[in-house]
Amino acid sequence: MTRDACATARTFRLAAAILLLACAALYIARPVSRARLQPIDVARRVDLNTADAAELALLPDIGPALSQRIVDHRREHGRFTSIEQLKDVAGIGPAIFEAVRHYIRVASDAPPESDNLR
């Protein structure tokens, strides 16, 4: 094999390895499909009025910073009267609300038989 052929083969193998690593990184970093998340029984949902920051941080798409903001918002503005009020917390937009809506409740939520699980 000539020098040029060896260099070309080496370049090709290097490019193939980089492409394989990039694809693997994208596969690992892909977001969890929200369609696979199942709603849970209302009685087992996290109550926005009683949960501490550690418990709130376990919710989908909620980490330590956002969970602390929820607790701070509750302290400043009082109890939540509906789960929709969670959207009033800085950093919680429609996407995050949709990710957590089936995992949260407030004490005044309707009973499970009338709960809307869209």
For 78-109, how does the pLDDT look when each residue is reduced to its tens digit (9 = 90+)? Answer: 999 999 999 999 999 999 999 999 999 998 64
Per-residue pLDDT tens for 15-64? 777 777 776 666 565 554 444 445 556 568 999 999 999 999 989 999 99
More confident residue, 18 or 110: 18
The CA distance from 23 to 118, in Å, is: 34
Q: What are the sequence ranges of the domains in the chain? A: 1-32, 40-111
CATH class name, domain 40-111: mainly alpha
DSSP string, 93-107: -HHHHHHHGGGEE-T
pLDDT of residue 4: 77
Give the Cβ contact number of residue 58 at 10 Å.
12
Look up residue 55 and give its two tokens.
């418990």
pLDDT of residue 18: 78
Look up residue 38 and give its two tokens.
């199942």
